[in-house]
Amino acid sequence: MDGFLPAEHGRRRTLKAPIGCVGTGLHSGRRVALTLRPAAAGTGIVFRRIDLGIDIPALFDRVVDTRLCTAIGEGEASVSTIEHVMAALAGTGVDDAIVEVDGPEVPIMDGSSAPFVFLIDCAGIATTAAPRAAIEVLRPVRVEEANGAFAEILPGRENAFDAEIEIDFPNTAIGRQALAMRISAHGFRETLADARTFTLAEDVARLRAAGLAQGGSLANAVVVDGPLVLNPGGLRHADEFVRHKLLDAVGDLALAGAPIRGRFRGARSGHALNNRLLRALFADAANWRMTGLPTMTEGTAATPLRAAAAPAIA
């Protein structure tokens, strides 16, 4: 399987070795140490709060907050701003890993997924003998807001995950942008991985007054003031804004627990709509099915993979 693309005979993948980094939490402003560790086949992606001694599975029904980021867990036992590392793991095709953090937030690094992709490449990826399951979308599912923003997932035309998204920030340097692509390891690395998070200058003071964005700076976010981009180096891509929104969607949809076979479409969607979409998808068993699973003659258990069981709905 190439990144998100569910290959017909794919095998689950994990890291070859542990690797770590240290950075700053975007919203908390706290120093955070993160370590990516290999995990047994079927583990999935699990966030481990080593300061609290708890594990939190990276699944859509464990999401507790979608304001400005995606957070999983419960109360103090939670981890926020997980979307960029989730996108990096999904985009490089890592199925099983432990993400250790010593605080309540993943470090923001440069505001993109590129530093996490670099860590994954340095650690290396190991293919296991366990078959890889995929979630095949069987019928359209859509969620929307009163302002016309929506997110939907549709059956795929091929054994792949295709995604398209549109954003619209009138009267700013962002404007209206759209992007459609097939999510693959190469495509993710070349098109999405280095796209940074962004904000409007007028929102910075409000966010900080609310106790958010305490670790934000021009080193880890693109800041837009009307028609101007305030970062001295400018943009990495002319359409960096919509690239980052699609990166966020890849990270949020990775909380499905297995690669998706289908098509995602979003218009002005964000973390909240992305999570609502997964909850709506799994709310009805007629919407999806697991594919790529071994038959009963190939394994010793009815559900040999963690992702094979129907996700619980919170």
From the candidates 27, 84, 244, 271, which is the catalytic residue? 271
Q: What per-residue confidence (pLDDT) applies to 10?
A: 86
pLDDT value of residue 216: 86
pLDDT in tens, 159-198: 899 999 999 999 899 999 999 999 999 999 999 999 999 9
Domains, in order of start, for the chain:
11-306 (3.30.1700.10)
The string of DSSP letters for 101-156 reads ESSSB-B-TTSSSHHHHHHHHHH-EEEEEEEPPEEEE-S-EEEE-TTS-EEEEE--
pTM here? 0.90
Q: Please say if 271 is a catalytic residue.
A: yes
Q: Are strands 134-137 and 260-267 parallel, antiparallel or unpaired?
A: parallel
Residue 293 has pLDDT above 60, yes or no: no
d(CA 33, CA 51): 11
Residues 201-238 have pLDDT tens digits of 988 878 888 777 778 889 999 999 999 999 999 999 99
